[in-house]
Amino acid sequence: MARRRRTGPEVLEAGPLTVVPSERLARAGGRTLMLSIRELELLTELARRPDRILAREELFELVWGGEMPARTRSVDVYVRKLRVKLAAAVPGWTFIHTHFRLGYRLAPVPVDDASAPGRSRARSASAARGGAAANGRG
């Protein structure tokens, strides 16, 4: 495979999200996100591998640069922080999906999109009826 010389900074795009790692810039829905260095690094690693499930251990190694201690919840805490900031910037979208016992995946989709990857019909039906998912508890 031939290598191409890049003509500008790396720009990562996924739906309404744009990340420019060299400029330490992340935008969602046209709004600049105020992220800590770790949040930006985590978002960058997810954005470099859109639609791929990344294990917590892999994300920890990529962002923190070492083997993940057995009882740390650092990745989970930072994913939660990113979700809050992304939701505030672009209401009505889900960016980071949890895959139980597997990891996290960046795949921006509108919240009401029942055909979104990783969303089950049962959960979508529950949300339509006003279930726990619709009330923010799901």
Note the pLDDT of residue 66: 86
| pLDDT, tens only, 23-82 | 999 999 999 999 999 999 999 999 999 999 999 999 999 999 988 887 789 999 999 999
Dihedral of the alpha carbons of 54, 60, 64, 66, in degrees to the nearest 10 = -120
* pTM for the whole structure: 0.76
Fold classification of 12-128 (topology level): Arc Repressor Mutant, subunit A (1.10.10)
Over residues 94-115, mean pLDDT: 89
Instruction: Look up tokens 């917590």; give the residue.
Output: 56
Residue 74, amino acid: S
Retrieve residue 96's tokens: 């980071």
Cβ pair 59, 98 in contact under 8 A: no
Over residues 95-100, mean pLDDT: 97
Retrieve residue 46's tokens: 């997810």
Note the pLDDT of residue 91: 95
Q: What span, in angstroms and rounded, lies between the C-alpha atoms of 126 and 120?
A: 10
Structural domain boundaries of the chain? 12-128
